Chains A and B, each alone.
Chain A
Amino acid sequence: MSLWLLYALLLKATVTSFSGMGSLPQVRQDLVVTNQALADDELSHAVLLGRSSPGPMGVYVVSVGYLVAGWPGAVVGWLALVTPALGAVPLLVVVRRWHHLPRVRGCVDAIVVAGGALLLPAAIQLARDALTALAAGLGPTA
Chain B
Amino acid sequence: MVKFSRPTLAALGWRIAADVNRTVGGGLASIELMRQAFSRTGWLRDADHALLVAVSRFTPGTNVLAYCAGVGWMAHGAAGVAVALVASSLPSAVLITLASAIVVRLASSPVVRLVLAAATLLAAGLVLWSAWALLRPHVLGSRRLWASSTVLVALALFLGLGWTPVRVLLVAAVWGAFLPPRENGS
Measured CB to CB, the residues of A under 8 A from B are 14-20, 23, 45-46, 48-60, 62-63, 66-67, 71, 74, 77-78, 81-89, 91-93, 95-96, 99, 102-124, 126-127, 129-131, 133-134, 137-138
Contacts and interface: CB of A to CB of B under 8 A. Distances in A.
Contact of A119 (B70, B131, B143, B174): B131
B33 to A, nearest CB: 11
Interface in B136-186: 138-139, 143, 147, 150-151, 153-155, 158-159, 164-166, 168-169, 171-181
Contact of B51 (A54, A92, A117): A92
B97 A85 contact: no
A111 B173 contact: yes
A66 B97 contact: yes
Nearest to A133: B117
Interface stretch (B6-14, B37-45, B56-64): B56-64
Interface residues of B, number: 96
Contact of A115 (B25, B54, B88): B54
A115 B134 contact: yes
A108 B172 CA distance: 9
Q: Is the interface of A mostly helix, strand, loop or mixed?
A: helix
Contacts of A86: 69, 81, 85
Contact of B93 (A81, A87, A93, A107): A81
Contact of A87 (B59, B100, B107): B59
A49 B100 contact: yes
Interface in B78-93: 81, 85, 88-93
Interface string B118-131: 10110111011011
B55 to A, nearest CB: 5
Contacts of B56: 88
A109 B176 contact: yes
Interface of B: 20-28, 30, 50-70, 73-74, 81, 85, 88-93, 95-97, 99-101, 104, 106-107, 110, 112-114, 116-118, 120-121, 123-125, 127-128, 130-132, 134-135, 138-139, 143, 147, 150-151, 153-155, 158-159, 164-166, 168-169, 171-181
Contact of B107 (A20, A52, A66, A106): A52
7 contacts: A49-B107, A95-B55, A103-B180, A107-B174, A115-B134, A118-B168, A120-B155
Contacts of A134: 114, 117-118, 121
